[in-house]
């Protein structure tokens, strides 16, 4: 049975060689349009990927410390205190048990955040932080801020850095080990150097004397405001504003 090729009215009025030429042109035009469409799809997908990389959808703000009332308000728990204050300032309760820690989710300066207080005890803080980071798919270098105590900084002072080593802090050592990177923002809150001859563990597990308490409370407030500065502007702005030494 012979197969009859269907032509449009325009093609029927053409000579035979014109029909073949027009068909070839139409075929090439369709092929090129398909190719162009595929290119556009690829470009759009790449632009979406780039935009997703640039914009962090969730920030993880971690304060380090030890759980239970035994360690409340000690030098080693200023990270907990800072996150509690940050949550209070922004109406976020940090009381939901999840990821081996206490968490609270909300918005600060228009950005989605999860506040975290690991309940693993200080030396295993990385277990909690890693679970949170994996769950929310947050990259440490763009969406993590850790607040913790530093004995090499005077009470009342802050040091904000974009990255760096643990500096001998066991909680930070464990976080870096679990995340396999030290490229994330940290806010170190000064608790003062231990007296000569005193055991370090005994010192950091002490509560502050009245003479230092006011300075520490001021540092906690400024550390919370530093987080807000990071979220509303950037790390450099927070460093310029809050990395000030006492005169």
**Within 10 Å of residue 102's Cβ, how many Cβ atoms?**
22
Q: 178 or 31: whose pLDDT is higher?
A: 178
- For residues 103 and 92, give the distance between their C-alpha atoms in angstroms, rounded to a whole number: 9
Report the alpha-carbon angle 163-196-68, nearest 5: 60
For the chain, the straight-line distance linking the first and the last C-alpha, in angstroms and rounded, comes to 101
Rg for the chain (alpha carbons), in Å? 29
Query: pLDDT by residue (tens digit) across 36-86?
Result: 566 565 666 655 555 444 445 899 999 999 999 999 999 999 999 999 999
- For residues 117 and 62, give the distance between their C-alpha atoms in angstroms, rounded to a whole number: 6
The yes-or-no verdict on residue 243 having pLDDT over 70 is: yes
Distances (CA, A) of 47 to 25, 53, 121: 33, 10, 42
Query: pLDDT by residue (tens digit) across 102-130?
Result: 999 999 999 999 999 999 999 999 999 99
Element (H or E) spanning 186, and its range?
strand 185-190
Give the pLDDT mean for 222-241: 96
Residue in 76, 91, 169, 178 annotated catalytic: 76
Give the pLDDT mean for 86-111: 96
Tokens of 40: 């556009």
Give the pLDDT mean for 157-172: 92
| 169 in catalytic set | no
User: Which pLDDT score is estimated for 137?
Assistant: 95
Give the whole-number percent of the chain exceeding pLDDT 70: 77
User: Which pLDDT score is estimated for 61?
Assistant: 98
- For residues 50 and 101, give the distance between their C-alpha atoms in angstroms, rounded to a whole number: 32
Least confident of 2-6, 54-58, 167-171: 2-6
The yes-or-no verdict on residue 5 having pLDDT over 90 is: no
């Amino acid at each position: 049975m012979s197969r009859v090729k269907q032509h449009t009215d325009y093609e029927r009025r053409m000579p035979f060689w014109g029909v073949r030429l027009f068909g070839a042109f139409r075929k090439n035009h369709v092929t090129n349009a398909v190719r162009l469409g595929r290119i556009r799809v690829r470009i759009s997908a790449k632009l979406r990927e780039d935009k997703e990389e640039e914009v962090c959808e969730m920030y993880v703000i971690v304060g380090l410390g030890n759980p239970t009332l035994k360690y409340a308000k000690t030098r080693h728990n200023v990270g907990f205190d800072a996150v509690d204050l940050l949550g209070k300032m922004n109406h976020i309760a940090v009381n939901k048990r999840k990821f081996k820690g206490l968490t609270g989710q909300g918005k600060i300066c228009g950005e989605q955040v999860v506040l975290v207080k690991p309940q693993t005890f200080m030396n295993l803080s990385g277990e909690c932080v890693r679970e949170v980071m994996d769950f929310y798919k947050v990259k440490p270098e763009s969406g993590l801020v850790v607040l913790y105590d530093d004995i090499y900084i005077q009470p009342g002072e802050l040091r904000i850095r974009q990255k760096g080593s643990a500096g001998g802090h066991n909680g930070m050592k464990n976080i870096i080990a679990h995340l396999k990177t030290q490229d994330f923002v940290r806010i170190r809150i000064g608790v003062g150097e231990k007296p000569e001859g005193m055991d370090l563990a005994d010192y950091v597990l002490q509560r502050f004397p009245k003479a230092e308490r006011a300075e520490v409370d001021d540092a906690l407030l400024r550390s919370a405001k530093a987080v807000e500065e990071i979220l509303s502007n950037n790390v450099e702005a927070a460093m310029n504003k809050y990395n000030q030494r006492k005169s």
